[in-house]
Amino acid sequence: MKGFWSGKRVTVTGGSGFLGQHIVKRLEGYGATVFVPRQKDYNLVALDSCMRCLLEHPCDVLVHAAAYYGGIGINQAEPAKLYYSNLVMGANLMEAARLANVGKVVNIGTACSYPGYLEGDLKEEDLWGGACHASVVNYGLTKKMLAVQGVAYKRQYGLDSIHLILTNLYGPGDSYNPDRSHVVAALVRKWVEADLAKAPSIEVWGTGKPIREFIYVEDCADAIVLAAEKYNDVNLPLNIGTGIGTSIRELVETINDVTGYAGKIAWNADKPDGAVKKVLDVTRMRRELDGWSPPTDLRAGLAKTISWYRANKAQADAKW
Ligand code: GDP
């Protein structure tokens, strides 16, 4: 690992964000020279700005970890912004990468790209087998286009790239804003606040039946850096996850347990459930990453996240 990255120039879009900062930390630890484009300097939705970024900071590897994204709430509230910003940013970065002769592009995709109505665990081969779930189509489809672009750009321009498909992330530094957050951050905030206020009950969205898979953000960064080194097949994306499904009800019970909250839980079935199940098959991940699997189990990751959130509440709440 160290040998591979030593002396490499890597640009990480989204490198100051929730996931990206952990990717940067690891790459620097392995001896890479990392550049993180900041929004005030480079508007990555514009092609000329992507070009300027890659020409001013030539790189061997481009990790595209920037995204405008969030949970089921923002997918309902801002479908057009999710669509436009992610689609155009991804397309322009790939175009700039081939014009600037970047050695390899690592695109960070999402489990929202999978067909939303499949029953079993999601295998890479299933990616093209059906429509995205309506609740996340505007985000899921735009990221999926990067996989199409990767194959086309390899064939016509010889650009090397890979497409990594991530499951739901959680951890310190996530978005804890209820209008944007995913379920773990949303519930951590609700539980800590209810505990502080001694509130008699907490409202949780949906029925509690949907199954999700959760990966601790630092584990995910480990996998991405490993895959950036070892995985090279542009024709097949690679899933990054735990492979473990947890119902929202089980998640709620675990958070309840870790926080020690003693009030009632009110399920609001008027709020959307989203996909019935979203769990990745990680068989290929284990094989391609030399047997790696995420070391942090859900309970341990939640305990770390909750204690971080308690200690950094004002800062966490101020973030969009
Ligand atoms: P998804 O994985 O793309 O569907 O997005 P989310 O992480 O936002 O939601 C996952 C599941 O958690 C859905 O079934 C939601 O209904 C459920 N959920 C329960 N309470 C909440 C909440 O307070 N916020 C969010 N975002 N989801 C919640």
Q: What is the pLDDT of residues 133-182, one digit of tens each?
A: 999 999 999 999 999 999 999 999 999 999 999 999 999 999 999 999 99
**Residue with the nearest Cα to atom 4 of ligand 1?**
274
Distance 233 CA to ligand 1 centre (A): 32
Residue 1's pLDDT is: 66
Provide the CATH topology of domain 2-169+214-243+277-295. Answer: Rossmann fold (3.40.50)
Ligand 1 binding site (Cβ under 6 Å of any ligand atom): 71-73, 112, 135-136, 168, 181-183, 186-187, 204-206, 210, 212, 248, 271-275, 278
CA–CA gap between residue 240 and residue 219 (Å, rounded): 10
- Does the annotation place 16 within a ligand binding site? yes
Q: Are the C-beta atoms of 8 and 61 separated by less than 8 Å?
A: yes
CA–CA gap between residue 33 and residue 84 (Å, rounded): 31
Distance 120 CA to ligand 1 centre (A): 20
Low-confidence ranges of the chain (pLDDT < 70): 1-2
User: Per-domain residue ranges for the chain?
Assistant: 2-169+214-243+277-295
Amino acid found at 55: L
Give the distance from CA 28 to its chain's centroid: 21
Q: pTM here?
A: 0.97
Q: Which residues are catalytic?
A: 139
Distance 273 CA to ligand 1 centre (A): 7
Q: Are the C-beta atoms of 214 and 168 separated by less than 8 Å?
A: yes
Contacts of 270 (CB under 8 A, 6+ apart): none
- Does the annotation place 14 within a ligand binding site? yes
CA–CA gap between residue 222 and residue 217 (Å, rounded): 9
**Which of 260, 223, 263, 225 lies closest to 241, judged by CA?**
223
